[in-house]
Amino acid sequence: MTQKEIKLVKEGDINQPMRVLLVTDEQDLKTLRKKSKNIRNEEIKDNPDLQYFIQRLTRTLDEEMGVGIAAPQVGVNVNLFLFVRLDKPDYPVQVAINPKITGHSKEMICFEDDGCLSIPDFSGNSKRWTWVDVEYRNEKGELIKERLEGYSRKDNFTGIIFQHEFDHLQGVLFTDKLCD
């Protein structure tokens, strides 16, 4: 993280949610459209600034009652997001640092009612893969490789959440992927 981003993160108490950037604000939109940068692997474990940021981001996700949030949505352009594991008991929140999509289904579906914390009061149907092979590091720096499936709100849509949040790190919004 840059010194400016660390200052932004430290402006609030560890239990205080951060302000979610909105597409309706010109400066916010510039940040949301910017491609994020990787966090060096050696800076993940035992990094107090990063751990502080993860806690504040978690608090923001709780406050907003979302299923995922990416660092750029609070003004920090690093490759990090949180996503709710709808495919696991008790729906834990997973930290994904420097995530990659390493493979995906050939089939794409129209995921119904995609929405975003940065685009309030709007939802739409977005083009998504039915499964994705992913790799990322957790908050301890451990490498995780797995296949995330699920594409229906009736069951599990963990794979969709991952794709949505991954897009944020590329400066892409779900409105860029709306079905015809």
146 is catalytic: no
The single-letter code of the amino acid at 151 is Y
- Supply φ then ψ for residue 94, to 5 degrees: -105, 135
Report in angstroms the alpha-carbon separations of 11 from 4, 7, 17, 35, 56: 11, 6, 11, 24, 11
The Cβ of residue 63 has, within 10 Å, a number of other Cβ atoms equal to 12
- Supply φ then ψ for residue 69, to 5 degrees: -155, 135
List the catalytic residue out of 11, 43, 107, 165.
Answer: 165
User: Which residues are marked as active site?
Assistant: 165
